Amino acid sequence: MKMISKISKIVLALTLVGSSSVFAQSLADAKKAIDAEQFQKAKSMLKNLTVTQANKDENFFYLGWVYILQEYPDSAKAVFQKGIAVNPKSALNYAGLGAAAFVDKDKATATTNFNQAVSLAGKDSKPYLYVGEAYLLNDVDGKVPAADANAAIAVLTKGKTVNPKDAEILVALGDALRTQSKNTEALGNYQAALDIDPKLAHAKVATGVIWKYANNFESSETEFKAALAIDPNYGPAYREWAETDVRWAFADPKMASAKIKEATDQYKKYLSLTDLSIESRMRYADFLLLSGDFKTLQTEAAALAGAANGNLKVYRYLAYAAYENKDYPAALTAMNTWITKADPKRIIPRDYVYLGRIQIESKQDSLGIGSLRKAIELDTTNVAVYSEIGKALYGQGKYMEAANAYNIYTQKSSKATLNDYLSKGLSYYKAFTDQYYSKATPKPIPDTTLLVKADSAFAHIQQKASAPVPIVALYQARANDFKEPDRNTSKGLAKPFYEQYIQLQTAKGVKDTDKAFMAEAYAYLGVYYEYKEKDDAKALENYSKAREFDPTNKTAAAYFSRKGGAVKGK
């Protein structure tokens, strides 16, 4: 489904103009701007505060926190260190240093700084808040690794004990619980936060997000509207509303057109309420990626890549979009730029998935398979990649490796389809035939257990499919035929499957492309009746049908050649 093409006009219709208003210079206003995702505005205010109130360490912390949210951990670290220089016992800035290390995947340093922040916090709950928030920075599509989420829950719970009336702590605790699908507990914390501060728009939006992931879209909208009733200019409410509309469109095709239009409108409002910085446009790119509007994403990413103060991350978007648009040369160039120039700590498993896909489409199959394997090394839970590896290996004729990849996928994924089982069965079957027909010296002994595994995969399909599948019955017949030592000692293992194939294909209708397979099935039955049953009439009947379907069938031709005039005219 083509998603939100109308959104392509949003950024073009909005220009990057500076605000002529004079920013308020209080820390409270700067924090409000951060919460509203007006990061350039907040950064400008905080830079000023670090000069005019240079003795206040919290000014440095919040400036550093903006850099963290904008994914500039090195800049954040430098600012936090300045805050500690102002106040060596600044718990907030130690929390910030921990966050910078955590983003850089230096968990040992992060833990040291988090512990220092907590030890210096005293009765101040804010250091607990930002340590907890830091643990949630690795959010991907609303999920956080369980270990990080649990660490966040633990420290935020301690912060709640320090100050039960800190509404921000309660919201953050709700966010941490939400990432682990502990929605009832999360909702309880959001409501507790609202009981303390009824004008906390963030808590209303967070509640709406819970309903979004539960696909209760009407309730989500109610919460977003409630947030905007509190603050009509609260941009994050429009952003989450837009993303909810996109999810709604995917979930309910009947609502797709209306919800796509709404998503466009909501995101346009969100952008108008931010400062239209590079970071805001990067969020727009995130939205386009979420919605699947890859055409617009490629255009916007290309524009961002040309910006003087651009973020390297834009090459990730450009690579993803170009791949989805089948522009493989552009995708390969962009992904190589991202992989080689970005800090290695910023590379995520999905980058290697896309790199592998791009390389395979660029006829660099071996490199592509290696990249897909790298993705699994980085995220062992992403078992879907095994299916892609299997497909690539199968295309290279590496059937045994392909079979192993498909086997892992079908065992570990609840989303494996019957087509995946077919690919698995075919891979095992062809791995066996490679051995059987090998001309290597010494000739390998064919591993008949591969036939058993192939047959098991085929049987699974026939059991689970709404109706037996003719081609699967054919491959079951072939696999069982290979189990026979020779025709003279045949047990007829393939017979029921070839008969099933004939029945199913006849009922479905025999096309020209099926005739050779029909001849194969009848020729087998001819051999069975000739050698096993010694039934000349049945043998002749089946060989004749094989010849009717395919006059070039070698088994049938050999039979008539052997019999000569005895079956002439039959």
What is the C-alpha to C-alpha distance for residues 98 and 118, in angstroms, rounded to an integer?
11
Complete DSSP assignment for 506-537: HHH---GGGHHHHHHHHHHHHHIIIIIS--HH
- Determine the 3-state secondary structure of 140 from DSSP: strand
- Determine the 3-state secondary structure of 398 from DSSP: coil
What is the C-alpha to C-alpha distance for residues 178 and 185, in angstroms, rounded to an integer?
8
Q: What are phi and psi of 140, to 5 degrees?
A: -130, 115
Nearest-Å Rg of the Cα atoms of the chain is 32
Tokens of 425: 């069965």
C-alpha to C-alpha distances, 210 to 138, 181, 272, 328, nearest whole angstrom? 18, 9, 25, 37
Taking the mean position of all CA atoms in its chain, how far away is CA 61?
34
- Determine the 3-state secondary structure of 85 from DSSP: helix
Listed residues 340, 357, 382: the one ending a domain:
382
Q: What CATH number should be reported for the domain holding residue 499?
A: 1.25.40
Is 185 domain-assigned? no
Angle value at C-alpha 521, between 516 and 526, nearest 5 degrees: 120
Q: What CATH number should be reported for the domain holding residue 320?
A: 1.25.40.10
Per the CB < 8 A criterion, the answer to whether 510 and 518 are in contact is: yes
Complete DSSP assignment for 401-453: HHHHHHHHHHHH-TT--HHHHHHHHHHHHHHHHHHHT---SSPPPP-THHHHH
Is 230 domain-assigned? no
- The residue segments making up the domain with residue 322 are 277-382
Tokens of 174: 């709700």
Is 328 domain-assigned? yes
Tokens of 85: 């220089």
Taking the mean position of all CA atoms in its chain, how far away is CA 391?
18
CA end-to-end span of the chain: 57
Q: What are phi and psi of 143, to 5 degrees?
A: -120, 145
Is 407 domain-assigned? no
Is 7 domain-assigned? no
Q: Looking at the 3D structure of the chain, how many domains does it have? A: 2
Per the CB < 8 A criterion, the answer to whether 324 and 294 are in contact is: yes
442 preceded by cis ω (within 30°)? yes
Listed residues 328, 349, 382: the one ending a domain:
382
Is 158 domain-assigned? no
Is 461 domain-assigned? no
Is residue 434 classed exposed, middle or buried when 0-12, 13-18 and 19+ CB atoms within 10 A define those classes? Answer: middle
Model confidence, pTM: 0.73
Per the CB < 8 A criterion, the answer to whether 39 and 66 are in contact is: yes
Is 551 domain-assigned? yes
Tokens 């643990």, residue located: 135
Listed residues 334, 359, 382: the one ending a domain:
382
Exposure pattern of 205-238 as b/e (b: 16+ CB <10 Å)? bbbbbbbbbeeebeebbebbebbbebbeebbbbb
> Please, which residues have CB within 8 angstroms of residue 463's CB and are 6 or more apart in sequence?
none
C-alpha to C-alpha distances, 91 to 77, 104, 130, 328, nearest whole angstrom? 14, 20, 10, 49
What is the C-alpha to C-alpha distance for residues 524 and 478, in angstroms, rounded to an integer?
10
pLDDT, one tens digit for every residue, the chain (570 residues): 344 444 434 443 443 333 333 334 699 999 999 999 999 899 999 999 999 999 999 999 999 999 999 888 999 999 999 999 999 999 999 999 999 999 999 999 999 999 999 999 999 999 999 999 999 998 876 678 999 999 999 999 999 999 999 999 999 999 999 999 999 999 999 999 999 999 999 999 999 999 999 999 999 999 999 999 999 999 999 999 999 999 998 898 888 888 888 888 898 899 889 877 777 788 788 888 887 889 989 998 998 888 756 688 999 999 999 999 999 999 999 999 999 999 888 899 999 999 999 999 999 999 999 999 999 999 999 999 999 999 999 999 999 999 999 999 999 999 999 999 999 999 999 999 999 999 999 989 999 999 999 999 999 999 999 999 999 999 999 999 999 877 667 789 999 999 999 999 999 999 999 999 999 999 999 999 999 999 999 999 999 999 999 999 999 999 999 887 555 544
Is residue 420 classed exposed, middle or buried when 0-12, 13-18 and 19+ CB atoms within 10 A define those classes? Answer: buried
What is the C-alpha to C-alpha distance for residues 479 and 482, in angstroms, rounded to an integer?
5
